[in-house]
Amino acid sequence: MTIPVALLGLATAAAPHTLRQADALAAARGLFRDRFPGFERMAPVFETAGIRTRQTAMPLDWYLEPHDWTERTAAYLDAADALFAAAAAAALDEAGLTGADIDLIVTVSSTGIATPSLEARAMTRISFRPDAARVPVFGLGCAGGATGLALAARLARATPGSKVLLVVVEVCTLSFRTDKLTKADIVATALFGDGAAACVLGSGDGGVARIEGAAEHTWPDTLDIMGWRVDPTGFGVIFDRAIPPFARDNLRSAMETMLAGQGLEFDDIDRVLCHPGGAKVIQAIETALSLAQGALDHERVVLADHGNMSAPTVLHVLDRARRAGLPPRSVLAALGPGFTVSTVTLAAP
């Protein structure tokens, strides 16, 4: 018999500075209009992205100056440490636990490098036990929230009685570049925000939801769709193929295959909770999955208020959905580099 795993606590955290989309557009126009002849043709993406505000690790003026890898890494460590602590503490509090109760910590982050990793840096701050196991995960990009939740659930199921803490932290805005400029950089400038989310899991029932299953699908020959380029200045975004049409053409069949592996059909799912990569991605997912236009309402609100925070964004969507009341069965889904879709099937408690 499969051991049930419960999501005992869920919390989100936002970066300290709020950036209005109109201010982001004005700053980008001032920087790039004279250097990038096609900027005005690209500028409407700031208005069509579906974003009103975003939260950023640094104040706007910081991004308008050049920064090298060392400075960006220092900014990442400061911001990620604070976001990790805030999200972890809130999730533990909801679960009625402390850091000392956690047996294993999964940390997901792909927007900076920390060695020692973020959970090690938080050991004293969160009062983790010295014998707590640590699993830092890098490279999942936007799929990291769903994949991280699936991994944490597997670990909780494998060690009955243990408590597993998942913390997902991304500081996407540090990829903003003033030295190189591509169409992908402009799109990223219009989309990215910073944030975190954390979950506490344990074997048993109750809590926010029960983890029923998880699955991933990676399409072959799709490494060029999404990722990072790395140079002495830092990370630079790669969007070499349009994501909305790819999702529209390929997502449904992958979802059906993944659900079939769990003995489910798509009609068994009451609600799909998706990573809102952008307004066009949301529309493409609704089309691909034959959802009513506007069905992904929580996704649109999270995108409008926070932008695309990469991995934690889908957990922000889950947090909003559970506060509104989860239906009997949901599927959490996120697309990310690989090119991959990662899913977690949830049952209401």
Q: Which amino acid is at 101?
A: D
Above pLDDT 70, what percent of the chain? 99
Q: Would you state the pLDDT for residue 42?
A: 83
Active-site residue, selected from the candidate residues 142, 172, 199, 274: 142
User: What is the mean pLDDT of the segment spanning 293-300?
Assistant: 94
Classified as helix, coil or strand, 125 is coil
Q: Would you state the pLDDT for residue 1?
A: 46
Q: Which amino acid is at 155?
A: L
Q: Would you state the pLDDT for residue 241?
A: 67
Tens-digit pLDDT profile for residues 17-52: 999 999 999 998 888 887 777 788 888 889 999 999
142 is catalytic: yes
Own/partner long-range contacts of 176-180 (Cβ < 8 Å, ≥24 apart):
176/63, 177/233, 177/234, 177/236, 178/31, 178/63, 178/64, 178/65, 178/66, 179/66, 179/233, 180/233, 180/236
pTM assigned to the model: 0.95
